[in-house]
Every structure is written in structure tokens, then in C-alpha cells.
Structure 1
Amino acid sequence: MVFWFVAALLTLGASLTVLLPLAGRSKGVPSGGEHDLEVYRDQLAELERDAARGLIQPADAEQARAEIARRIIRSGSDEASARAPRFSTTGRVLGGAAVLAVPLVSWGLYGMLGSPDIPSQSLQERLAQSPAESSVDELIARAEGHLAANPGDGRGWDVLAPVYMRMGRFDQAVTAYRNAIRLQGSTAEREAGLGEALTGAGGGVVSAEAQQAFERALRLEKDQPKSRFFLASALVQDGKLAEAASAWEAMLADLPADSPWRGPTEQALAEARNRLAASGPMKPASGPTQQDMDTAASMSPEDRKAMIESMVAGLDAKLRQNPHDLEGWQRLLRSYLVLGKNDEAHAALSRGMAALGSTTEDGRKFAEFAATLGLSATE
């Protein structure tokens, strides 16, 4: 009832705003306007007669003429400003009909097509209704409200995590998967989901933390397809195309015929083979050796980070001496991204493109590699 009352008031106000000017009558010219003009004309004629008889000096006569002329002009301006716009009878009728038709037609359509009798509901009431009658956003809001009140519900986090992933809310998916693993235990599916969420949150880069999650999933289920696919993608990011192609070939051999991973894997393998055929033999890899990696694994996080940064700095120095090492530029670019040094990564991309040449085959490959990491050579 309140809705209809407010709507009626607003409609009435809007209609009156348009109708009142249409109903107004134009004002005529003031009754004394023509009389004043006759007086000014008589004064001008009398002035001419006095000037002709020599009763007034020519200079004074000219000044008097100018003053009378100003009064005549001012009288004409007042007369024009006093006139109000005139509306014809037909215009008033049509305008009034149009203004009255708008609210009548709109209210009639709302009565037929709308739902004016449905009472308003607060968010809490909508969330309390049957799940079958709720939208996806309302269901997620309901789950989030439940988990805010019951953060120890591991099953709730387990259900919500893949929903976040499908919606592209990767940071929230990471939190949900971590809570599900902490409360429900580690499974291959949850670890693989965490790795995928971390990859999505990192802009498509398979970080070291994501690789660890995928490796944990494979220890729990050696043929877990999501983990195998993303670990092969990580090899591509490292510039190890041949190893990535081998990993995808082995994965295809193990996948069932109806697996949803067959399509993405076949596409990735075909792309890797095309790039291998176009690139020819790869140059010897530069960077940390397996012994370096084994040594780093036994260090504290701070020492390990310092060691990695030292190796990256050494690789950067070698590239300054030998700037035509395509694989070296690829490793340097990915290392900076994994370390979170985006500015250094962009600088390395610019230096590498300048050294390899944007029009050369190596320059084209380097630009394509950068694109797989989410960087553009035109930035």
C-alpha cells in the first residue's frame, strides 16, 4: 500500500510539472504601453518645432532627441518582454493527453506483467527460503554466512571451493581449499584443486607452491589428471618443451577415452610439437643444477630464497655477457615472476626482445613464451 501511495504522489508531481505551463494563459501588452509611445512621439514633434523656430540650441535639441529615442526603445523592450508564449488549444489538448497517458499506460502494463502483490523480502528472508528457489549468488551468500558462523565446517569449505573456482574467484578458492584440507584432510582432488586455484591466482603461472600441491596430489593418486596436466604446463614455462610433450604423451596413454582431460591434453601436446618443430634443437640450459636444487631443499626458507635470488642474479649477469641465449632469457623471465618481481620481469622482457630482435625467430619465440606467462612484448 505504501508503494502505491508513493508512486501516485511522484506521478502527480511529475504530471503537474508539465501540465501547469500548458494550462497558463499568455499575458497581453500592458494597457499604458501605447499611450507612453504616443506621448514620446508628441514630445519629439514639439522638439522639432521649437528647434525650427530657434527656441532651443541645436546641441540641446540633439541631446533631447537622443533621450526621447532611448525612452522609446526602452518602452518597446518592456512591451516585448511582457509577452508570454502562446499555446494553441490543440497543443494544450494533445500535451495534456500525452502527459495523462504515460502514467495510465505504465501502471496498466505493470499490473499485467509485474508482481505488485508480492511482499518485499529482506536478504535474510530470501536466504531462508528453499534452495531450489534461490539463485547461485544467494546460495553462495548462504554458504558464506554459514561458514562465517561455523568456520570449522570442513565439509562446507570443501563444497564452496570448486564453486569459487568456476566463478573465477581464485583467491577465495585458495582459502577454501586450504581450510578444507586442514579440516577434512589431504586428498588428491583437494590438493589438485589447491594447485589450480594458486595457478589461477598467479595469472596462469604455475608457482612453486602450486607445483608442491600438484606433487602432493600425485603422491596420493599417481594418475591424477589435473596435476599431471599442470605440471607439464610448468615444464613449458621452464622452457622444457620436449619434456612437457613427453609428459602429455604419457598422460594421453593413461587417460580413459571419455576423460574430459583428453581434449585439453591433445591440444597442448599438438602446440608443444609445433613449437618444437619450429625451434629445432634447443640450446644447453643455463640455470641451477639438480645439485643446487637438492641443496636448496635442505635450507631454511630465508636461506633458500637468498640462494635462489643469487642464482637468478648470476643468470642475469651471464645474459648481459651473452645476450643471444634464448633459453636463458626464458628462465630469467619465469624466475622473476615466481619470485614476485614483476618489474624486473618486465625489464628482462624488454632487454631480451632488444637483444634477440623482435623480427628474428628467437625474438618471436621469446615473445610467445612471455605471452604464456601473461606478459606482452608490446608492454
Structure 2
Amino acid sequence: METFGQDLRRSLYRGRDPARAVDIRDLRAMARRRLPALVFEYLEGGAEEELTLRRNRAAYDDIALMPRILRRVGGATLAGDLLGRPAPLPVAVAPTGFNGLLWPQGDIALARAAAAAGLPFTQSTVSNDPLEAVAALPGLRHWMQLYVFQSQAAVEMLLRRAEAAGSEALVLTVDGSVFGNRGWDKRSYRAGTDPTLARKLEMLRHPRWMLDLMRHGTPRFATLAEALPDGKSDMVSAATWLREQTDPDLDWDRVDWLRRHWPRRLILKGLLAPQDVEMAIRHGADAVVLSNHGGRQLDGAPSPIEVLAQAVPIAKGRLKLFVDSGIRRGSDIVKALALGADGVLVGRAALYGLGAAGTPGAGRALHLLQEEAERCAALLGCPSRAELDDSCLFRQPE
């Protein structure tokens, strides 16, 4: 029996030059080498048995492409409209917290890469850099992600600041009212947020990361500093406050309230059920992101790409439809577009680049995704977004 690759001494690039990364896997290997296990586990892990985490990737792997040949594909591009403005690729950077643990001023570093690529950056409520400092970056399309707290004053404060900073969209996370059970992440801590002795010792094997931490200090939740109680501004105390303040009773009435108080685009992130897409339309959303939170919340949930086909006929002509979770290749973006998505949000793929090399690493990740997506579209014989549909996908005969 013929084997492929087993007789080769294959290895991923693990150096420091992001330009040498051939794909996202190299950037992941670079980040794994630079970051302590404690931080990389937070970035990499999922909930409970990690069934959904693995399913997110398997679902894309199971989609086969059907190329058409002898078509003119010179200058293939996926450029076009992305939530009302032109973009070179239908991609936005997803909201992620604790980016300051991956790289000093991690939110600013990641946002700079997004701005250079011409793509929107979604800043998390729990970002480590101030909302205003990120939104003011030249050329950046700034989207603001919102967690709804029990403190109405904190929510109103965030809305006022996002509007004043010029955020073009508010991204309400609707699947985070109850914190997911991330068992492997918990094993990194002895109690609460105190790392185990083994994790503390392992940090010493990452001197570059340790030096950055000593130079810049432990990241804080700068965007939320105004809302935090006195004496709760350090990361540990603030993280505890955040968990206590997250509102478990977030419902459609709160969406209505946000719709009345937010004058720009409103995106709901974290839906999966087709019925909830219909509800999002009724309650005034401009777009939804089909998402299972990267496999970090409800374990056993389907992948967003698996439910996309059911959501498309509901959303068509009524709101924009995005997907996230599991995207590691440009071909994944093409598959999502072929199934009817208006765009995708990328999280871990960009964070691997950030953790590997800051802004240049994140920029390399976004460049690789665009390069791969355009190449995939050309190989499919579909050199533009308008030509991507389910005819580009292989269907097993009945």
C-alpha cells in the first residue's frame, strides 16, 4: 500500500520570521513555541470533551470542491461589499479577549494588521487596550463587541463610547450569558486564577514572553476600567467581576433595547438555530454570525458551516449572514461563500499570527488566508464572489 508523507522528515516552521510561514499551521507552531502552555491552552482549548472544537474543523474537511475547467481565471479576486463597504476579502477579525497575553498591546497590534489588510477588526469588551486607542488607528474599520452586564450603567457607558469613537457596528455576543466549562483551561490553575506550580515553572521556558510581560506589565481590561469597582482593576479581580456581572437573563427584550439605543449596524453573534435567525430579523438585526464560540461554550453543538444552508433562505435579502469557528484555510472561506454566507469572521487563525510575531504575524495570517482563497477560487474556475454557489461543491450521488 502506498503511503504519503510518512517516509519524509516533515516539520513545521517554528522560527521567528513570519514571512517564512507557509500556512496557518506554521504560525500556530511559532506561537506554541513562544507562548507558555498556560496562555496557549487558553487560546487553543474548547469546552468539556472538545467535541464541537474538533467538529468545527471536521465539518470543513468533509466539504469537497468541484472545479470547472477551461475558464478565464486571471485576476481572480473575492473583493466586494462587506457590510456596506468595499473589502478585498469578505472577512472580519473576530472579537477575542486577553490579546495582551499573546503580545504586548495585543489588541492594537491585531487591529493594525486588520487595517493594513483593509478588513474590519472587532474589539472585545474584555480587550486589554482602550476602545478609543484602537478605534483611532488610521484606516481601521472598527466594530465593537458587547457583552451585556447586569449593570445597566456599564452597558450604556460602552455604547456611548463606541458611538463617540466611530465604531461602525455593534456585535452583541448572545451565546456567552453562561460561561462554558473549559476543563483543560481549568487544569492550568490550582485555585481560581492562581496557576499551578507546574504551569508557573513552565513559563520560565519562554524567556521572550516573560521579558515582554516584565517590560509592559500584566495586561488589564482597559476598555472596562471606567466600569470596574475600586480595587478591582487588576486582571484577576476584574475577571472575577466580569463573571459575576455577565447577565444570564439576556433575551430578545434586551436586543430590542439595544436596537433602540444603537444607531448603526447591529450584529448578533452566537446563533445556530434557523428559528433564531428569523427572530434576529424580527428584532431589527442587520446581520448575524452563525457561531458556536469556537467550540468554547456548548460542547456537542453543530458547526456553523453545517447549519448555514438552513439559514440562507431565511436570511436572503433580509439580513447579512456570517459564519465563524474552525476557519484555518482560504478554501474554508470559499466553501462558506459557496454555501451562501456573506462573509466570515476569523479568530484563532489571526491569533496564532499575533502570538507568533505581533502585527507582522497577524498580517501574515490574513495575507495567507486571502492568497489561499483567491487561489482556490481560480482553481475552482470561479474567479469572483458572484460565481461562487453550491455548484462549486461536490455532492455524492444519491
TM-score by length of 2: 0.23
Structure of greater relative contact order (alpha carbons < 8 Å, 6+ residues apart) = 2
TM-score by length of 1: 0.24
Higher Rg: 1
Normalized per residue, the structure richer in helix is 1
